[in-house]
Structure 1
Amino acid sequence: MRLLKLLVPAALVAAGAGFWLTAPDRVDPGRFAALAGDAASGESVFTASGCASCHHAPESDDNLALSGGQAFPSDFGTFHAPNISPDPEHGIGGWTLAQFADAVTRGVSPEGAHYYPAFPYTAYIRMTDGDLADLWAYIQTLPPQAVPSKPHEVGFPFNIRRSVGGWKQLYLDDGWVLDVPPELERGRYLVEALAHCAECHTPRDALGGLDTARWMAGAPNPSGRGTIPSLTPDQFDWSATDIAYYLETGFTPDFDSVGGHMAAVVSNFSQLTAEDRAAVAAYVKALKAP
């Protein structure tokens, strides 16, 4: 009985600590109070971030119909991209800019629930406030889609959303992975933040977090079909010119052409400036072998 009296308070303290540690971390709304986003600038942020690649309707030829629905299988279940159109009921049209920033950079819904990290907020957390505001302004110009989001297919224990808060304690970090000189900062911003290249090109540990010790060293394809290639110099010998040309045209130095999900990535990068493609190529050439 005496042991029970000691264990019960200890269990309550541990439960309270766990509840506190897994609580959602929100942005300070005051950061965005004076920001007026520019939709024209937001279009390039939208393109570089690959928003349409995941969130456009799978049965539609319109990449700006952001009703979601695409399925993304993983070891933890199958995740479905949600509706992020400006529809106020089924999309994000009723959100504020601060709530949008919570979702994109912290993985937190307006109701305070954790989003699964299939949504690459671990990369977007490095996005600047100005780019967030511009992106938000651009999304408001897109056509609303009155289509409900599909539920994820995730079993126990991964369906316990609160546990994602503990995962974030381990893996949600706004620091840069690669230390670079000033001339490579634009490329780093595009690769590590907006384009979230490491989400596919970096292997993960048993909990699904990126193994930054093997940054961009290649990884199994989450779909279970094949692998995502390494971009580190011990495995990847393309020149910076080759990389930039591939991102513009989809053609490799071996006269092959892009395929799979990378085709959507190339489609996005082809719409960016030549300077941005060159910046990405320069960053890739600065990578170290794991």
Structure 2
Amino acid sequence: MKRLALGVGLAAIAGAAAAYGLTAPTPVAAGRLAAIAALEGDAAAGETLFWAGGCASCHAAPGAKDEARLVLAGGVRLKSDFGTFVAPNISPDPQAGIGGWSIEQFANAMLAGVSPDGRHYYPAFPYGSYVRMTDRDIADLFAFLKTLPASDVASLPHEVGFPFNIRRALGGWKWLFFTDEPRVAPAGDEAQLGRGQYLVEGPGHCGECHTPRNPIGGFVTDAWLSGAQNPEGEGVIPNLTPGGKAIAGWSAADIAYYLESGFTPDFDSVGGSMVSVQKNMAELTSGDREAIAAYLKALPARGDGWK
């Protein structure tokens, strides 16, 4: 009996140790970090990534307009079933923002969801999409962020209760859902679709809102971009595939024009949280908007993901 109890105890200890190791934050490989650090970031090119990535939508102060959108003081509140996440200050301020970060720390945050102090970031920060970004784009975006105005506004804490405030448990979430694999394999013009796929699945992180999630916050993988319940609690986020009603009847040119102007083919205008996204998309080149449109038209048709 004593041997049995000892065996059970040892097994429990081994299991706990394995779980602890499994949930440990895993930073970007040292070799890749060194390669990124060796790149000379191009701030002008980084501006494209800034708008494609929607940085201002979350990290500018709530309601910021025009030039104020470039002051990344944070404060936007993102409601979810797990609590409310508050976007932090990512301005170049060395204390309140990320002005004291190295390029390696920035790359770890963007590509691995690991903070400078070695903790997991919550996936409300869409590193699950940013993980697809190239080394060059990481370096260029960091260079651009350093050119923006500094803000000394302190970041506010997230409002997340037990058990979701146990950050170590996010290691298990990452093990289940964190991947840099393509979401779909669209067929068509390889160069244009490749660019569109990169923008939508990577820095544009469109799936973070437009794809339904399972009870623990992972994407429903066979429902990519098919729409989802609005985490704010009102209405739904539309289906972007050819199988939904939202844009199924739109041509690729219609989609590209909507992203540029904010007007639908029926001369309605963009609304809700998409207002900020459309403003970001308007800053891209026409070629990038056309690539996004081509990718969306090439998606497999799916029924509405919120049903």
What TM-score, normalized to structure 1? 0.97
**Alignment of structure 1 residues 72-151 onto 2, 5 Å:** 72-151=78-157
Residue 153 of structure 1 aligns with which residue? 159
State the secondary structure of the residue aligned to 2:14. helix
The match for 2:261 is: 249
Does residue 200 of structure 2 align to residue 191 of structure 1? yes
> Which runs of 4 or more aligned residues in structure 1 lie more than 2 Å from their structure 2 counterparts after TM superposition?
1-4
Q: Matched residues in 2 for 1:60 and 1:193: separation?
A: 25
1:161-200 matches, within 5 Å, as 161-181=167-187, 182-183=190-191, 184-200=193-209
Deviation at 1:206? 1.0
**Among residues 29, 41, 48, which one is paired with 1:44 in the alignment?**
48
**What amino acid sits opposite 2:41 in the alignment?**
G
- 2:73 and 2:61 map into 1 onto residues whose CA distance is 5
Distance 1:138 1:206 in 2: 37
CA distance in 2, matches of 1:200, 1:31: 32
Please tell me whether residue 222 in structure 1 is matched to residue 225 in structure 2.
no
Give the alignment partner of residue 222 of structure 2, picking from 213, 216, 223: 213
Gaps of 5+ in 1: none
Partner of 2:305: none
- Please report how far the alpha carbon of residue 148 of structure 1 lies from its aligned counterpart in structure 2 after TM superposition: 1.1
**Once the 2 structures are TM-superposed, how far is the Cα of residue 232 of structure 1 from its aligned partner?**
1.4
Counterpart position of 1:9: 10
- More divergent stretch after superposition (5-14 vs 259-268): 5-14
Say whether residues 1:239 and 2:287 are aligned partners.
no
Helix, strand or coil for the counterpart of 1:63? Answer: helix
Give the secondary-structure state (helix, strand or coil) at the position aligned to 2:70. coil
CA shift, 1:59, in A, is 5.3
- Post-superposition shift, 1:65? 1.0
Matched letter for residue 11 of structure 1: A
Q: Report the aligned-residue RMSD.
A: 1.1
Structure 2 unaligned regions, length at least 5: 303-307
User: TM (normalized to structure 2)?
Assistant: 0.92
Q: How many angstroms does 1:2 deviate by?
A: 3.2
Note if 1:278 corresponds to 2:290. yes
Q: CA deviation at 1:194?
A: 1.1
- Identify if the C-alpha distance between structure 1 residues 241 and 59 changes in structure 2 by more than 3 Å, giving closer, same or farther: closer
Deviations 1:10-58 (A, max 9, x none): 1111111111111111112222231110111101110110001100011
